[in-house]
Amino acid sequence: MRLNMRNIFKDVCMNEKNNKWSTAISRQALLYSSNNDLRSEFERDFTRIIHSNAYRRLKHKTQVFYSPQDDHICTRIEHVNHVQSISYTIAHYLGLNEELTKAIAVGHDLGHSPFGHKGEKILDEICKKDLNKSFWHEKNGLYFVDNIELLEDYEGFKQNLNLTYAVRDGIISHCGEIDENSLFPRNEYIDLSEYKYPNQFAPYTWEACVVKISDKISYIGRDIEDAVSLGILDEHLDKLYELLGYTSETINNTVIMNNLIYDLCINSSPDKGLCFSENALNLMNKIKKFNYEYIYLSKLLKASDNFFSIVLNQIYSTLKDAYDGNNTLENLKTLEKYYPHLIKRFIDWFNNFSKASTKNNLKNKKLFDINIANDYYLSIIMYISGMTDKFAIDMYNEIIGF
């Protein structure tokens, strides 16, 4: 490896010397602290994220393959950990802030719905129909860390995560569906509510750019390894060997990722941006095309799509049909004898964020007015989006069972 490339980004690292530092570590509100905390601002974000329920639920959310019987097939939390590992390696070599990349990486997919991108598409359809707005997991991730996820403070009150601007920006800016080379951060500080669609703005920091690229490196390699393990690519292995230029013994995530990480590290610079060689970029695009054709659009994966739609739409309509302004909670309680787990848990969850909540252990933002139908519909979508695959199916089975 060309040692003169090591730490080449150290002068643009997100630290106290960076002119973006004060905005990067800013929070929406003052965060409680203790006089014996050893962590930096970004380390605090990292631990706040991994202690959140949304992070814990990632282990039971689909990455690509729904409900695999093989324990070694990637779930959403494994993908997140792969991105954390890749982004750390790149940031460490280039001289960027590893603590920041680590925090962004573990939080970047908190907004994913059950059933992966298929579930995301279903919730998007519901949102457009009832709320005239789009649902996309990057924006939902920001909404979750800003408004939904709660942690107890030192006095036992539940508060919002209240992450730094740099981490929040990295979450909403992480979209890995990029084809361009030479990724640069934007210079301007923006209100992140200005985001209207994925990939609208470049990330604010070089570290977030690293996570954005690491996301893509992670999924294109691991998805192939999983598909090979499951036998989905049995009829297409010759094409795969030819494409990668590897033998059958070397098709694994480690080889694919390592080659791409190395290529990125030796070709990137603050002047050129984060970029691959032409050969590596072409290979990535070919791998992505192969994955779409033979993995993501496989008939074997399509078989479950209708089921996902039925599950999520049924849960949504069951809760939506209870709406009647101030009478909604009473209507829900009437349904509790039929759907005890769904209704009890939803009411308890809703009361954490209701503007009329009487809970005395909360110091979080209050989001939903029961008298506004769209507030209530949005609350259902947020509740569903946080579900694991299994919980969503359990709630559906409760609805249809007697």
For residue 3, pLDDT beyond 70: no
Q: What is the pLDDT of residues 293-327, one digit of tens each?
A: 999 888 888 888 899 999 999 999 999 999 999 99
- Strands, E assignment, 128-201: 150-152, 158-160
For residue 250, pLDDT beyond 70: no
How many CB atoms lie under 10 A from the CB of residue 345? 14
CB 291 within 8 A of CB 63: no
Q: What is the pLDDT of residues 32-41, one digit of tens each?
A: 888 888 899 9
pLDDT-based confidence at residue 207 (cuts at 50, 70, 90): very high
pLDDT of residue 92: 97
- Tell whether 207 is covered by a domain: yes
- Tell whether 126 is covered by a domain: no
Residues 221 and 370 in one domain: no
Average pLDDT, the chain: 92
pLDDT of residue 74: 86
pLDDT of residue 73: 84
Name 351's Cβ contacts closer than 8 Å, sequence gap at least 6: 357, 358, 359
Measure the CA–CA gap between 220 and 110, rounded to whole angstroms.
20
Alpha helices, DSSP H, located in 268-388: 278-291, 299-302, 305-320, 328-335, 340-353, 373-385
Residues 161 and 290 in one domain: yes
pLDDT-based confidence at residue 69 (cuts at 50, 70, 90): confident
Q: What is the pLDDT of residues 123-137, one digit of tens each?
A: 999 999 999 999 999
Q: What is the CATH number of the domain that holds 230?
A: 1.10.3210.10
For 370-392, letters b (16+ CB in 10 Å) and e give beebebbbbbbbbbbbbbbbebb
CB 385 within 8 A of CB 123: yes
Phi, psi of 368 (to 5 degrees): -120, 130
For residue 155, pLDDT beyond 60: yes
Measure the CA–CA gap between 307 and 381, rounded to whole angstroms.
18
- Tell whether 142 is covered by a domain: no
Residues 52 and 200 in one domain: yes
Q: Which of 248, 271, 300 is the last residue of a domain?
A: 300
For residue 2, pLDDT beyond 50: no
pLDDT-based confidence at residue 1 (cuts at 50, 70, 90): very low
- Tell whether 14 is covered by a domain: yes
Q: What is the pLDDT of residues 76-95, one digit of tens each?
A: 999 999 999 999 999 999 99
pLDDT-based confidence at residue 240 (cuts at 50, 70, 90): confident
- Tell whether 229 is covered by a domain: yes
Q: Which of 255, 281, 300 is the last residue of a domain?
A: 300
Span 265-290, mean pLDDT? 93
pLDDT of residue 255: 77
- Tell whether 129 is covered by a domain: no
CB-facing half-sphere around the CA of 95: CA atoms within 13 A = 15
Span 362-369, mean pLDDT? 96
The boundaries of the domain holding residue 386 are 305-400
Residues 170 and 261 in one domain: yes
Pair of tokens at residue 150: 């709660």
Q: Which of 278, 300, 322 is the last residue of a domain?
A: 300
CB 179 within 8 A of CB 215: no
pLDDT-based confidence at residue 252 (cuts at 50, 70, 90): low
Span 19-26, mean pLDDT? 98
CB 90 within 8 A of CB 197: no
71 vs 186 pLDDT, higher one: 186
pLDDT of residue 35: 80
Q: What is the pLDDT of residues 219-235, one digit of tens each?
A: 887 888 888 888 888 89
pLDDT-based confidence at residue 264 (cuts at 50, 70, 90): very high
SS3 86: helix
pLDDT of residue 136: 97
- CA distances from residue 236 to 2, 62, 197, 233, 290 in whole angstroms, order as listed: 36, 24, 35, 5, 10
Work out how many domains the chain is built from and give that number.
2
pTM: 0.94
